[in-house]
Structure 1
């Protein structure tokens, strides 16, 4: 059934998901706060800064005002950077006139509060202004979804019916959606894998090989699982799409901003140079700080995250940081038991 969907955030992932929705026959409006970008979408049906080779379906309407984008929407998809989630949610809550399904496809933890994105949305959007909240996440690159590469991701919600609604909304011959009720696990996996991808990129920049790549991904998954389970996640989520799946795709691809940023760090660039070079948000940088602080607060050991934090925020030499990480006191591989 044709639905009206508003996409808030015309970055690469927001644009790719808007294309999916339009190709699935839905009425799609996309909102952004850069007027020139919206003009480009409406006039030329392109978004060259984010997806230079994509011709956007002409049925997608760009909107400069959030009120116009969300008017009468059955579902509203948030795809803005983590740091902007709270302010955009407030704008939405003030402007919305009906009760749409709220979906988010962003990946990160809020600074200072260390809250997951669905928690921020639940705080800022009153219950009378939303049917519920669904997380859309998993191993995906906008560049590949845009050209119809086969991709599988997860729609997670405490309300299984809403997860199935989002599954139906997005699923087609190249994008397969699975449902999940473990919102905590899906969001934690999505956020924390960006930290490990920074490390994987740094190892590549230092010219380390496949053994090192396997080591950081495997031990990184152990850290993600430890913190996620401590937050109440189902441990099985981390061997699924939002855990090991998202970790693989983010730690091994040049499409990954976090991997590319880590690669530049490994080659000797400082953080300011890296961020200037990227020209886009690198979620793993802020997530590293939030995750380190959260882990310290609840007493979870995350040595890889702590090491990456020292490189990012304390200026520690990357190669020396790797050496110190390797020379830590020996431990048992399975540090904790999952009940």
Structure 2
């Protein structure tokens, strides 16, 4: 299977570097200047500085050329995926489209698989998700991810695995994509706790109740509990709630400490909080942490008021 990664951000670049260990890989960049710069320097200095691009990795801004591959990894922000699929559906239909995005589309309330299936009904949709940082993957540090797909799973699993990237497969696409999306919201909340100097005990409590909240919504929407307890749910939650490498965690820290955050950095959990809150309301699922983050992101609530609201909730059984 020939592979192309569509999206030259940090994660897309890291995946392309890792996958090029086992065969040629094409990396597509939206801007021609960015592609030319990477090809000349053999480095993505804008998004992943310090990581060399192997010779087996080709770089292009020509989407027609890149999308000639059989397997296309969609490594782009979730809120851009719907428009990208709609604009290029003819070129993408019939391919194996693997979403590497973690989020819920604000416009439709859908995850990446539903977006892919609606725009490209002839494509085979999959989700690649789990606890991972781009820098670790690019450096060849051991990483395990979940590959969720309902078609051709063993062959795709083998092709996307490398000596340092281990994939576990599942057919539960709903659980995999919701675990990856919702944990970003809880990671923002964990960052708020640390930024506001509320302590590690408070973070542990927040993570535990956040996981319960994630599970309530995901199970209601058809996810399997073992998926949420695996790499794409609990595993990713632990990583992003405890490391400053997580953009969502750093964004939450900035909110909690009332300091500036670089607006150019994509924080998937900010949009996902609003989308998840709407899904919760639609399905009658109580999601107090998600609602708190949505209000904090929208500047509708102060950190002190948010903490007071959570601590004053009625006492109940766990």
Both proteins in one fold, TM over 0.5: yes
Correspondence 1:166 to 2:156: yes
Q: Is the 8 A contact 2:130 2:145 kept in 1?
A: yes
Match of 1:136 among 100, 122, 128: 128
Q: Is the 8 A contact 1:109 1:290 kept in 2?
A: yes
* Equivalent-residue separation in structure 2 for 1:309 and 1:102 (angstroms): 30
Q: Is the 8 A contact 1:307 1:321 kept in 2?
A: yes
Match of 1:32 among 17, 22, 29: 29
Question: 1:110 deviation in Å?
Answer: 0.4
Correspondence 1:213 to 2:217: no
Q: What is the match of residue 234 of structure 2? A: 244
Where in structure 2 are there 5+ consecutive unaligned residues? none
Give matches, 1:9-88, under 5 Å: 9-25=7-23, 27-71=24-68, 73-88=69-84
Correspondence 1:122 to 2:112: no
* Equivalent-residue separation in structure 2 for 1:38 and 1:133 (angstroms): 27
* Equivalent-residue separation in structure 1 for 2:300 and 2:292 (angstroms): 11
Where in structure 1 are there 5+ consecutive unaligned residues? 334-339
Q: What is the match of residue 330 of structure 1? A: 315
* Equivalent-residue separation in structure 2 for 1:16 and 1:120 (angstroms): 24
**Equivalent pairs, count:** 318
* Equivalent-residue separation in structure 1 for 2:217 and 2:280 (angstroms): 7
Correspondence 1:294 to 2:279: yes
Question: 1:112 deviation in Å?
Answer: 2.7
3-state secondary structure, aligned to 2:49: coil
Correspondence 1:182 to 2:166: no
* Equivalent-residue separation in structure 2 for 1:49 and 1:154 (angstroms): 28
Question: 1:315 deviation in Å?
Answer: 3.1
Q: Is the 8 A contact 2:21 2:162 kept in 1?
A: no
Q: Is the 8 A contact 1:20 1:170 kept in 2?
A: no
Q: Is the 8 A contact 2:19 2:162 kept in 1?
A: no
* Equivalent-residue separation in structure 2 for 1:172 and 1:89 (angstroms): 28
3-state secondary structure, aligned to 1:123: helix
Question: 1:278 deviation in Å?
Answer: 5.0
* Equivalent-residue separation in structure 1 for 2:154 and 2:134 (angstroms): 22
* Equivalent-residue separation in structure 2 for 1:137 and 1:123 (angstroms): 21
